[in-house]
Structure 1
Amino acid sequence: MVTAREGRGDRRNGSTSGFVRPGDGARPAEAARPLDPTHREDPVADDAPPTPPFRDPALPLPDRARDLLGRLTLDERIAFLHQRVPAVPRLGLAEFRTGTEALHGVAWLGTATTFPQPVGLAATWDLDLITQVGAVVGTEVRAKHAADPTVSLNVWAPVVNPLRHPRWGRNEEGFSEDPHLTATLATAYARGLRGDHPVYWRTVPTLKHLLAYGVETDRAVLSAQLPPRALHEYELPAFLGPLRAGVVGAVMPSYNLVNGRPTHVSKDLIDALRDDRDGFLLVVSDAGAPSNLVTGERYHPDHTTAAAAALRAGVDSFTDHDADSSITVGRVRAALDAGLLDAADVDRAVLRQLELRLATGELDPDLDPWAGTGADAIDLPEHRALARRAAAAGVVVLENDGVLPLRDGVRVAVVGPHADQVCTDWYSGTPPYTVTLADALAARLGADRVTLVDGADRVALRSVTTGRYVRPGDDGVLVADAPRADEDTHVDLTSWGEGLHTLRSLRTGRLWTGARWILHADADRVGGWVVQESFRVHAHGDDTVSVQHVGSGRWVVVQRDGGVLVADAADPQHAERFTARTVHSGHARAAAAARDADVVVLAVGNDPHLLGRETEDRPHLRLPHAQAELARTVLDANPTTVLTVVSSYPYVLGDLGDAASAVVWSAHAGQELGHGLVDVLTGDVEPTGRLTQQWPADEAHVGDLFDHDPIGGGHTYWYAPHPARWAFGHGLTYSAVEYLGLTVDAEDDLDELSVATARVIVQNTGDRVAEELVQVYAAAPAHRLPYPRRSLVSFERVRLEPGETREVALAVAVAGLAVWDVTSGSFVVEPGGYELHAGSSAEDLPLVADLKVAGTPVPPRTLLEGWVRAVDHDERADVRLVPRDRDAGTAVEVAPDARTGWVLLRDVDLHGVGGLELTVARTDAGPAAVHVEVREGRRWERVATAAVPEGTDRWDWRTVRATPRTTLPTWGETDVRLVLDGTVRLGEVRGTRAG
């Protein structure tokens, strides 16, 4: 049984082994080699020199690391601060680097098993399966390390940023819009990467990206506004779950700023993780982020100051300037010389790295249980089998009117851009093989029962300059020299939306690419940090077109000597003009194939490198126009169509979802995509996939991409005011499951440490086995604060035979009902009535039961017991959150587009308060004041004003008094509003005693 949330105040993650209670850590060793530090292979002579402590495996890792640190010179220690660390042979330390990409397989290091994208792994809701995937990925990292010891055992995965908004370009890298489910799934993956030995780690996982990272547009300078409840209830839990489970050893800050401060110098955020972690936690920078503190964000005046600030904030390893460590070393050395750092700052960072390296067995190869992994432990038969199983387990059946599962002997037309291709993404490895949907259908149903049409228009391009058609030469170079539009000149033109196309040569079977200025037709697939295989087509209005190579931004011209195509012109007016001859219409061929088939499997979706990826958010949530038109053509020809969406994210499908006989979704599922889909489409595997992210009914329902506050922005299934097209947790089986009853076993006086048991009775009323995911959600309709409409608190998968009825017991931790109390700065389960809902998704919850919780009452605020931070307000308007000080803290100021703004403190006890003191600073010259207002009935009465004195800059904080014109205690307990007027920043407020 799995609990999605075990309480926000002291959370542990669920596992397939049962409810994990506070105090549980990583799983104990199972099959790992026993650690016997007293064992020696050879007798030790009595006169042998003593073993240095750092070489003694009987000592705890921190003690060994401290001894090793003391043997390094200062110069050697400074060199440890860059990603590329030189060897120290006299101490047995090899060359080291942080970071091997392992998001869903080993990336960028050659052939490796390629598993489904994380959003697809998440759709399995199968923690044991995800742990097995992590273990295979970790094993293949070890294999790469065996072949090349410079391959790091510090892996940069998993990504735990919640999927707050479906337009985020990196949606595929995350697990869920629910932060607690994200934590649970990420813990499972990291557990596999880490391994089960109590001392030695197979690999050391790194959590990415701290924090509030969910926008690619201007990501290096964008500041996410994150009030305390959003920080503690939505963003931090996804990180804290894996940390508390003891399965990660590193974290990477994000490129963006949070409340005006770059994450790489946000000591508050880094400390929030380290304070909740037993053991080492290395903080590695994202690539180029240290320099961006000056060049992009301009938060610090120079690189020496910025490097010092990052190191003091807790960044331990600088990923900057690629392999050139001299720049980072020079900046740190200059900071030491200037007194901005001392040796202790350097030592703290180096010590964490040494602990990490010792944990991977670098100095204990005879004791490291993973050291025997050979370079050949790649693409093993069991890895292939697991990849297929994972691909099938993540397939989600969204709609089905009975066409699925496909019956034997059916004639199928498989149509669309994903009918016969398997896409990779930026963080994919190189798959050893791929199985397309068409491949798998032909293998399962028989090649004679399957017709393939990709839906692309086939064209031939004729150069106006040469009068000849474009063809690839023997070397793949594109040249306009063919006299006729024969097959050598034919190109399949696929539209991916927003005017973006790929062109595949019929002769070579490969894509056009402009990676070398001269155009070739020799690319296997779309790929690369800067995609070289995408083009735009510009119509001139005279039946000619010009072609732009998007990667370079240059337009294609034809060289007069030889007719070679090159990307060279600055604009379409100076580009080559082509006439396009249509060989055949892809839509017409698709319609003909659909009419001749019993069932159409229409495969649409995205290419992960185009129009939604790292550095690029999605322009919208709709299918590409050409794909939507292809779908309508096919549906008109044959309504018995299975709309099969292969994508990195949700779509708004509109009427297409209604018109299809079935709708199925899969993420880009790696090398076994085709088998995984067909296993489910044919019913060879019962559908088990469920959405971990809702699919909206309308694009207008998803809110502002740039608003990181799910409460104020109405984001995710927690707060969205509109029903989804397909809800969080949704996914159909091929049977029918009814929910018959819900009871709750609970103590009379439930508190934050209590665990209730929800007992759900389910029955399989169909004639097939059903794999049902029983889900329990919490709600609190009468809560005094904005509370999620529904929030997942527990789930369990159950296999039901036809006709079987079963009671399923699910643990519900009362602590999971907590909200962040800005008054006390802690999680609190408030007393009162809560509801538990049970069903098959967040919007299909036929059962409900009441839960009475004693909880902890929240007393009124007091202003006489110390400073109250302005950021800890209950409501706000026309203000933004900004750094209180350069290195830590948060303050408020008037929003850039407003003249005044306010923050509201609810239920303030004004008894004994005679006046107020406020800490203030200025953002600029000009009038500035803070007005104090007290609620009286439905109106606000202004009782005091504090003028803001002139200051030197925004960091020059002053304390000012606001003396009321009337006696405050007469208001007793009431609301207080602090109105910011002009160029003022407000840090804190406190009361002074009357008299």
Structure 2
Amino acid sequence: MSGCQASDVTTPPFPAFRDPRLPIGKRVADLLTRLTLDERIAMLHQFAPAVERLGLAPFRTGQEALHGVAWMGPATVFPQAVGLGATWHPELLRRIGEAVADEVRAMRAHDERIGLNVWAPVVNLLRDPRWGRNEEGYAEDPYLTSALATAYTRGLRGDDPDRWRTAPVLKHWLAHNNETRRDTTSSSVRPRVLHEYDLAAFRGAVRAGAVAGVMPAYNLVNGRPNHVSPYLREQLRTWTEQELVVCSDAGAPSNLVDSQHYFDTHEEAVAAALLAGVDSFTDHDQDASKTVERVRGALRRGLIDASVVDAAVRRLLTMRFALGEFDPPAEPAEAAGFDTPAHRALVLEAAEQAVVLLKNDGLLPLSDATAGTVAVVGPLADACRLDWYSGSLIRRSTPREALVERLGAERVVFVEGTDTVRLRTAAEWVRVPDTAVEERAQEGSFNPAHTAGRTDLPPVTLGPAPTDLALADWGGGVLTLCAPSGRYLTVAEDGFVRAAAEQPEGWVVQETFTLERHGEGHLLRHRGTGGYVCVAAEGLKVAAPGGSDGAPEVAETAEPAVFTLEVVERGEDAVARAAAGATTVLVLAGNDPHINGRETEDRTTLALPAQQERLWRAAHAANPRTALVLVSSYPYAVGEAADALPALLWTAHGGQAAGTGLARVLFGDVSPAGRLPQTWYAAEEELPDLLDYDIIASRATYLYFDGAPLFPFGHGLSYTRFDYGDLSVQRIESEAGADALTVECEITNVGPCDGDEVVQIYLGAPGARVPRPHRRLIAHRRVHLRQGETARLFFTVPAEEALGFWDVAHGRWAVDPGTYEIHAGASSADIRRTATITVDGPPPAPRPVLERGLTAADFDSADGITLVDLTKVRGDAVACGDDTVGRLLFRGCDFGAGARTVTVEAARAETTGAAAVELHVSDGTTLATVAIPPTGGPYRYTTVGADLPTPPSGVHDLHITLRGALRLARLGFSG
């Protein structure tokens, strides 16, 4: 801040906003009065400028910190978030959050570009394992996600009640679980799924006071963009008295007009976002001028007034005050760690705890004495992969390196398992110049998508002698080609192909290719640009097209070269040879986090790439002592491997200590205790459509899935065994006066070694009147027990949170009377003990339709419909298209002594065809058919009344059929 300080605002007597003795609210109010309207408007952009006359420094919202400090150069790299989810260990995540906050502060001391408003963690639920950003979330379960997010944000925030270490922002609000057309698709989310599932992932951390705010997602929910979500006001800001900041996602404010076409002008869009509760606009990178002008335009047009700007600025300033920005410098200066021994020990602990043992028929643990020669093979065997939200590695440990360190180089055989190939044109071979590659320091960037590829190395050329290339097939025809130097073939801005990349990376990956059949040979297509490789005078070059969304600009066109592919050796042959000569084989397979499933790209399959399938099969055929270790950002359908192999493990990409952590588990230094944070399905056919967000109707996630998964949620084996003793449950009144369940469970380590067990407490509601989960996680604990040790564990869970559900009939949380089951077990499918608890009370009341009518979106079940926005500001409606018939069911409707008329509130934009709403009761009696006339637009509703010739009385299930394109808002009844 030194460049902006002025003596009159930084030396006693302080202006009120500089006085740390005053409450933050008074300090914020004082500073607001000193700022001009233009200065306040400028603060709404991500890159808020300095206000030199007041001594205010520039401020940037947004420092990525998902699993360590990202994008800003070297930092401690922890396991991917889904790997941290596999630890099931909130206390560990809190310590990781503390370490990341320390590094943020330490890095900021040397680089003012480092931001203290950190955008982490991601709490979007892993509803569908094909989601490209699966690696960024913690779990498919809202309770587990919330518990881990609360712990991580508490670590990031720190324990000081007044001074925050960093200000964490949760991503991404709301119901965001697809990359396919992510800025234009709408997640259709009914109220039960909204309250019980998607909102539940956010509530815990917000209520715990550990969160500075949230970031809305790119998608729409029920037809309305998340950046104008009414739930920011109606839900988020009701969970806490704290001032929460809402930071837009990058480019999303412009999307409201440009891709979503939700508003006609950017002035309308920015006004609507501010009114909905967005405070900080991440748009046009560091250029704030467009956002500033749009806000000014909204003010000029009267779409908002200055009080709306002030409300957003007040929240932003409150966060900055909490970070200590306006306090006198601390004496002595704050001490913060960076790449400390403690952090290195912590990242190793996390890598160990994230390993999940999926199957073990006695092959593991290995021992130093009897392991003999170990063949470590596969594309992940000597890799320490980073992802889009990683920092740069200071240290690294691959599986091969860790095994060599443990056993010695003479006992470790390494084979990558890629195909060794040569490429040639009609006349000459593809040749990679034998040039030394000088390492470059990674300085870090606000946005690494803007970093340039290397152009200082000679291009790949043609010559009389070939270069052997390592070809890895990552599935779906996506290939990488690696030179003997270990560098990947890549393409920079000038379009030339060079062996210059350490690994595939970047917003637009420049290291992937596709071989396409062409006559007797192949065309080599570069996926980053979409262009084909051709032969230029200086070497191989990518011909147009190109230059889209961060891809290199390739202006010239040329005839694509036709290549002949010669296979020198198949990867599976090399693996089989290594496996035959080894005592034990470890096949390391999985994904590269920048390829086939990442931000902007969903997966289309759960299958392991075919080349990797061939590797484990070849290894196992040559040596039955073969274990498959999956290192991946997401689950695979590997049923045949699970049946055939004696051992199967999974870990996410484990950060800088991945290899050492894995080796310590394989050799029994640590008994594995990672647990799956999401269901592993046997095949993608068991999944609903990627865009089907109704987990109740589609029977998705472990909560509702009716099939037999390959590996269930919560699954994970150990090298020791645990017995579960008696389980008891009571319902008591807590100190705060609210009902709570207390669960008591005893557990004993009866196996041969010390180890951790993850005790999982689930609730079931057999015989419930509405569809409830098969069982739902309500508590858990990871506990370490020595051999023979017994522990008695106690859990306390709010009763409504444990037993309740969202009652659409009355628009509130409800706990029905009845008998509930409390389960304790080692996974959602491995239940060891069950206890029951009975809830007394009156039976649930029916829907009071005569008094309240029916809101269409509050149905009990439906098909053929989509939830849409009632208006652009708030509310939901039910929509049906021309070519579909929509059906709604409302259970238990109380018509009293009789309903004689009905009113239907609906909208119909179409002017051709017909549309109608039909009402039936359960015995098939038709109550009425109400025709809906054209209304002139989707938000122009009309109310149409009709008599009910057969007036229903008493309690009935009501069936509604929608025919034709219309939007149904609500129905009213009168006697």
Give the structure 1 partner of residue 347 of structure 2: 387
1:52 aligns with 2:15: yes
Gaps of 5+ in 1: 1-41
Structure 2 matches for 1:218-617, cutoff 5 A? Answer: 218-366=181-329, 372-373=334-335, 377-409=337-369, 410=371, 411-466=373-428, 469-473=431-435, 476-485=457-466, 489-506=467-484, 508-516=485-493, 517-542=495-520, 544-559=521-536, 561-562=537-538, 564-568=539-543, 574-617=559-602
Q: Which of 751, 754, 759 is residue 769 of structure 1 equivalent to?
A: 754
The answer as to whether partners of 2:881 and 2:965 remain within 8 angstroms in 1 is no
Question: Please, which moves more after superposition, 531-540 or 396-405?
Answer: 531-540
How many Å separate the matches in 1 of 2:684 and 2:735?
41
How many Å separate the matches in 1 of 2:889 and 2:273?
31
- Amino acid of the structure 2 residue aligned with 1:842: S
Give the structure 1 partner of residue 673 of structure 2: 688
How much has 1:974 moved relative to structure 2?
1.2
The answer as to whether partners of 1:228 and 1:820 remain within 8 angstroms in 2 is yes
How much has 1:367 moved relative to structure 2?
5.0
SS of 1:67's equivalent in the other structure is helix
How much has 1:707 moved relative to structure 2?
0.6
SS of 1:204's equivalent in the other structure is coil
- Amino acid of the structure 1 residue aligned with 2:513: F
1:942 aligns with 2:926: yes
How many Å separate the matches in 2 of 1:856 and 1:667?
48
How many Å separate the matches in 1 of 2:868 and 2:884?
15
How much has 1:747 moved relative to structure 2?
5.3
How much has 1:912 moved relative to structure 2?
5.5
Structure 2 matches for 1:961-980, cutoff 5 A? Answer: 961-968=945-952, 971-980=953-962
- Amino acid of the structure 1 residue aligned with 2:410: D
Structure 2 matches for 1:829-868, cutoff 5 A? Answer: 829-854=815-840, 857-868=843-854
Q: 1:596 to 1:729 in 2, by over 3 A?
A: same
Residues 513-569 of structure 1, C-alpha deviations (whole Å, 9 max, x = no match): 112311111111111000011111224352x3332211111111122x34x111116
Q: Which of 848, 863, 866 is residue 880 of structure 1 equivalent to?
A: 866
- Amino acid of the structure 1 residue aligned with 2:958: V
SS of 1:865's equivalent in the other structure is helix
How many Å separate the matches in 1 of 2:156 and 2:563?
52
How much has 1:866 moved relative to structure 2?
3.6
How many Å separate the matches in 1 of 2:293 and 2:958?
51
Structure 2 matches for 1:60-79, cutoff 5 A? Answer: 60-79=23-42
How much has 1:368 moved relative to structure 2?
9.3
Q: Which of 174, 196, 209 is residue 159 of structure 2 equivalent to?
A: 196
How much has 1:903 moved relative to structure 2?
4.7
How much has 1:867 moved relative to structure 2?
4.8
Give the structure 1 partner of residue 743 of structure 2: 758
- Amino acid of the structure 1 residue aligned with 2:905: T
How many Å separate the matches in 2 of 1:601 and 1:529?
32
SS of 1:382's equivalent in the other structure is helix
How much has 1:740 moved relative to structure 2?
4.1
Give the structure 2 partner of residue 803 of structure 1: 788
SS of 1:157's equivalent in the other structure is strand
The answer as to whether partners of 1:762 and 1:807 remain within 8 angstroms in 2 is yes
How much has 1:743 moved relative to structure 2?
2.8
Give the structure 1 partner of residue 812 of structure 2: 826
How much has 1:480 moved relative to structure 2?
2.9
Question: Please, which moves more after superposition, 870-879 or 901-910?
Answer: 901-910
RMSD in angstroms over aligned alpha carbons? 2.4
1:738 aligns with 2:723: yes
Question: Please, which moves more after superposition, 887-896 or 632-641?
Answer: 887-896
Give the structure 1 partner of residue 659 of structure 2: 674
How many Å separate the matches in 2 of 1:117 and 1:759?
33
Give the structure 1 partner of residue 964 of structure 2: 982
How many Å separate the matches in 2 of 1:483 and 1:373?
61
How many Å separate the matches in 1 of 2:803 and 2:683?
30
How much has 1:588 moved relative to structure 2?
1.5
- Amino acid of the structure 1 residue aligned with 2:937: D
How many Å separate the matches in 1 of 2:566 and 2:52?
66
Q: 1:471 to 1:584 in 2, by over 3 A?
A: farther
How many Å separate the matches in 2 of 1:752 and 1:498?
57
Q: 1:596 to 1:799 in 2, by over 3 A?
A: same
Question: Please, which moves more after superposition, 761-770 or 330-339?
Answer: 761-770
How much has 1:280 moved relative to structure 2?
1.1
Q: 1:585 to 1:879 in 2, by over 3 A?
A: closer
The answer as to whether partners of 1:155 and 1:204 remain within 8 angstroms in 2 is yes
Q: 1:748 to 1:156 in 2, by over 3 A?
A: closer
Q: Which of 956, 970, 978 is residue 940 of structure 2 equivalent to?
A: 956
Q: 1:399 to 1:950 in 2, by over 3 A?
A: closer
How much has 1:52 moved relative to structure 2?
2.7
The answer as to whether partners of 1:933 and 1:940 remain within 8 angstroms in 2 is no
Question: Please, which moves more after superposition, 852-861 or 204-213?
Answer: 852-861
- Amino acid of the structure 1 residue aligned with 2:752: D
The answer as to whether partners of 2:899 and 2:948 remain within 8 angstroms in 1 is no
How much has 1:618 moved relative to structure 2?
0.6
How much has 1:762 moved relative to structure 2?
2.9
Question: Please, which moves more after superposition, 825-834 or 800-809?
Answer: 800-809
SS of 1:887's equivalent in the other structure is coil
The answer as to whether partners of 2:428 and 2:464 remain within 8 angstroms in 1 is no
Q: 1:584 to 1:851 in 2, by over 3 A?
A: same
SS of 2:778's equivalent in the other structure is strand
Question: Please, which moves more after superposition, 380-389 or 461-470?
Answer: 461-470
Structure 2 matches for 1:160-171, cutoff 5 A? Answer: 160-171=123-134
How much has 1:341 moved relative to structure 2?
0.9
1:911 aligns with 2:897: yes
The answer as to whether partners of 1:901 and 1:981 remain within 8 angstroms in 2 is no
How much has 1:904 moved relative to structure 2?
2.9
The answer as to whether partners of 2:731 and 2:799 remain within 8 angstroms in 1 is no
Q: 1:826 to 1:751 in 2, by over 3 A?
A: farther
Give the structure 1 partner of residue 115 of structure 2: 152
Give the structure 1 partner of residue 682 of structure 2: 697
Residues 934-973 of structure 1, C-alpha deviations (whole Å, 9 max, x = no match): 42xx5322223444344232222233322222333xx211
- Amino acid of the structure 2 residue aligned with 1:448: E
Gaps of 5+ in 2: 1-6, 437-455, 547-556
How much has 1:860 moved relative to structure 2?
1.1
Residues 823-869 of structure 1, C-alpha deviations (whole Å, 9 max, x = no match): 22111111100111111100011321111112674311112334532
SS of 1:574's equivalent in the other structure is coil
SS of 1:528's equivalent in the other structure is coil
Question: Please, which moves more after superposition, 719-728 or 795-804?
Answer: 795-804
- Amino acid of the structure 1 residue aligned with 2:543: D
SS of 2:793's equivalent in the other structure is strand
Give the structure 2 partner of residue 642 of structure 1: 627
